[in-house]
């Protein structure tokens, strides 16, 4: 049996003249997600989106839609004839089916077919009265536990009870392109996700150090990308073999600056890869003060080497906030798999926490930094993910 799902959009409503561009991209993303669910289809009527799908797939489709940025919630809906008694009959049946009866409820009706012989207020009153009389549940118009929604339209009228949350944000593909520095840790996948949430198209660059940190690091970062794909995550992962360059940078003095120098070279290289892929900025998972390399002076010293602006969506979050996001988005279990990171591999025992720009420049003296970054970027391996839940 085919069932209907009603989709709700959030922030896109605030857009004015360019709203149609956001809706166009949202529709593309929804169609791409629904391709994984044979028999499902998207419809739009009177500014509302609905999806039809086989009832056996309802849960899976709701789960997929729950990862589409731009949507705020999804509700199963029962199509009905636009007659108050019929609305009431179905609403009562749906409320009865709930696993636990709500402490209070209210009815919200929207009538888009102005030819119907009742107003939305009359419909709310009739159906609300019928539910209250039949099931004895109190009405609460200000803070109801359950909202029963009725839609009386020209093409379709329906009742829906209950909402499944969707992530909000803006449709991926509406905010330009970014390149995220993705390590195997907890933070950077969350940072990438946050930029997807704001509608950016985000690809990833990761540094590993074969043979010291090899295959397992590559597999871990690939697994993180796959975990982010249902959210519209990277279409491409650029893997940069970094070990030999790290060995050169390790010889720079003072050695306590090594981590800052590794990071500077990462930004130079990722910046070149980003420019090659038409990205306008880089993204990192840095949080202010979290570790030695993320003190304010070090962040400034690291960023100075970047050819592009660096966005740090996690800057003001505590670790436990990042961890709970990582759990929610499904990257945490992969992130905690033990695996060495390029930067910890040749890390100094006493890393600098207050890098001075002149000292950093002296440490890098004599190196052809641009040529090194160019060579790293040129030799990067590109992994493409083609099992598109979202269009590129």
Pick what 272 binds: ligand ATP, Mg ion, none; C-beta below 5 to 8 Å, kind-dependent: none
Pick what 342 binds: ligand ATP, Mg ion, none; C-beta below 5 to 8 Å, kind-dependent: ligand ATP
- Taking the least distance from each CB to Mg ion, the nearer of 145 and 341 is 341
Number of other CB atoms surrounding residue 247 within 10 Å: 12
Least distance from Mg ion to the Cβ atom of residue 284, Å: 10
Least distance from Mg ion to the Cβ atom of residue 186, Å: 8
- Taking the least distance from each CB to Mg ion, the nearer of 160 and 339 is 339
Question: Coil, strand, or helix at residue 4?
Answer: strand
> Length of the chain in residues, anyone?
392
Pick what 207 binds: ligand ATP, Mg ion, none; C-beta below 5 to 8 Å, kind-dependent: ligand ATP
For 355, counting Cβ atoms within 10 Å of its Cβ (0-12 exposed, 13-18 middle, 19+ buried), the class is buried
Question: What phi, psi does 309 have (nearest 5°)?
Answer: -60, 150
Looking at residue 138, the DSSP 8-state letter turns out to be P
Least distance from Mg ion to the Cβ atom of residue 183, Å: 4
- Taking the least distance from each CB to ligand ATP, the nearer of 186 and 257 is 186
Least distance from ligand ATP to the Cβ atom of residue 240, Å: 8
- Taking the least distance from each CB to Mg ion, the nearer of 49 and 207 is 207
Strand pairing class (201-208; 146-152): unpaired
- Taking the least distance from each CB to ligand ATP, the nearer of 51 and 343 is 343
- What residue has token string 């009739």? 126
The residue at minimum Cβ distance from ligand ATP is: 185
- What residue has token string 């704001």? 198
Pick what 285 binds: Mg ion, ligand ATP, none; C-beta below 5 to 8 Å, kind-dependent: ligand ATP
Residues near Mg ion (CB under 5 A): 183, 185, 341
Please list the residues that pair with 231 across neighbouring strands: none
- Taking the least distance from each CB to Mg ion, the nearer of 206 and 306 is 206
307-336: string of b/e by CB count within 10 Å (b at 16+)?
ebebbbbbbebeeeebbebbeebbbbebbe
- Taking the least distance from each CB to ligand ATP, the nearer of 156 and 325 is 325
Residue 197 makes CB contacts below 8 A (sequence gap 6+) with 69, 167, 168, 169, 170, 231
Least distance from Mg ion to the Cβ atom of residue 184, Å: 7
CB 123 within 8 A of CB 109: yes
Residue 3 makes CB contacts below 8 A (sequence gap 6+) with 52, 53, 54, 55, 58, 76, 77
Pick what 88 binds: ligand ATP, Mg ion, none; C-beta below 5 to 8 Å, kind-dependent: none
Pick what 157 binds: ligand ATP, Mg ion, none; C-beta below 5 to 8 Å, kind-dependent: none
Residues near ligand ATP (CB under 6 A): 181-183, 185-188, 206-207, 266, 284-286, 290-291, 293-294, 341-343
- Taking the least distance from each CB to ligand ATP, the nearer of 89 and 341 is 341
For 223, counting Cβ atoms within 10 Å of its Cβ (0-12 exposed, 13-18 middle, 19+ buried), the class is middle
**Rounded to whole angstroms, how far apart are CA atoms 261 and 140?**
61
Question: Coil, strand, or helix at residue 177?
Answer: strand
Least distance from ligand ATP to the Cβ atom of residue 156, Å: 46
Least distance from ligand ATP to the Cβ atom of residue 94, Å: 44
The residue at minimum Cβ distance from Mg ion is: 185
Packed helices 258-276 and 243-250: angle between N→C axes, nearest 10 degrees: 140
Least distance from ligand ATP to the Cβ atom of residue 323, Å: 10
Pick what 284 binds: Mg ion, ligand ATP, none; C-beta below 5 to 8 Å, kind-dependent: ligand ATP
């Amino acid at each position: 049996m085919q069932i209907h799902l009603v989709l709700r959009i959030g922030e896109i409503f605030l857009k004015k003249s360019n709203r149609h561009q956001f809706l166009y991209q949202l529709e593309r993303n929804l169609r791409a997600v629904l391709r994984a669910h044979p028999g499902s289809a998207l419809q739009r009527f009177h500014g509302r989106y609905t999806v039809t799908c086989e009832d056996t797939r309802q849960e899976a489709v709701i789960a997929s839609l729950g990862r589409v940025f731009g949507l705020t919630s999804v509700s199963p809906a029962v199509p009905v004839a636009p007659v108050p008694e019929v609305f009431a009959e179905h609403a009562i049946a749906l409320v009865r089916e709930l696993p636990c009866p709500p402490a209070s409820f209210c009815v919200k009706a929207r009538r888009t077919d102005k030819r119907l012989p009742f107003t939305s207020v009359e419909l709310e009153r009739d159906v609300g009265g019928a539910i209250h009389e039949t099931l004895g549940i109190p009405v609460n118009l200000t803070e109801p536990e359950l909202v029963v929604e009725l839609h009386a339209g020209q093409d379709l009228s329906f009742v829906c009870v209950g909402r499944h949350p969707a992530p909000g944000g803006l449709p991926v593909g509406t905010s330009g392109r970014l390149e995220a520095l993705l390590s195997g840790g907890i933070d950077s996948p969350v940072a990438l996700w946050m930029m997807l949430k704001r509608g950016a198209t985000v690809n990833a660059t990761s540094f590993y150090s074969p043979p010291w940190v090899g295959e397992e690091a590559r597999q871990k970062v690939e697994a993180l990308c796959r975990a982010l794909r249902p959210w519209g995550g990277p279409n491409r992962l650029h893997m940069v073999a970094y070990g030999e360059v790290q060995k050169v940078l390790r010889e720079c003095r003072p050695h306590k600056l090594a981590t800052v120098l590794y990071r500077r070279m990462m930004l130079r290289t990722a910046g070149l890869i980003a420019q090659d892929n038409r990205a306008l900025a880089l993204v990192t998972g840095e949080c202010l003060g979290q570790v030695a390399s993320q003190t304010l002076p070090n962040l400034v010293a690291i960023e100075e080497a970047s050819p592009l602006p660096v966005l740090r969506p996690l800057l003001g979050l505590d670790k436990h906030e990042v961890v709970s996001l990582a759990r929610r988005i499904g990257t945490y279990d992969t992130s905690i798999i033990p695996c060495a990171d390029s930067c910890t591999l040749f890390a100094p025992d006493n890393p600098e926490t207050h890098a001075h720009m002149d000292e950093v420049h002296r440490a890098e003296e004599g190196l052809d930094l641009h040529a090194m970054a160019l060579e790293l970027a040129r030799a990067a391996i590109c992994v493409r993910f083609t099992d598109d839940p979202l269009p590129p």
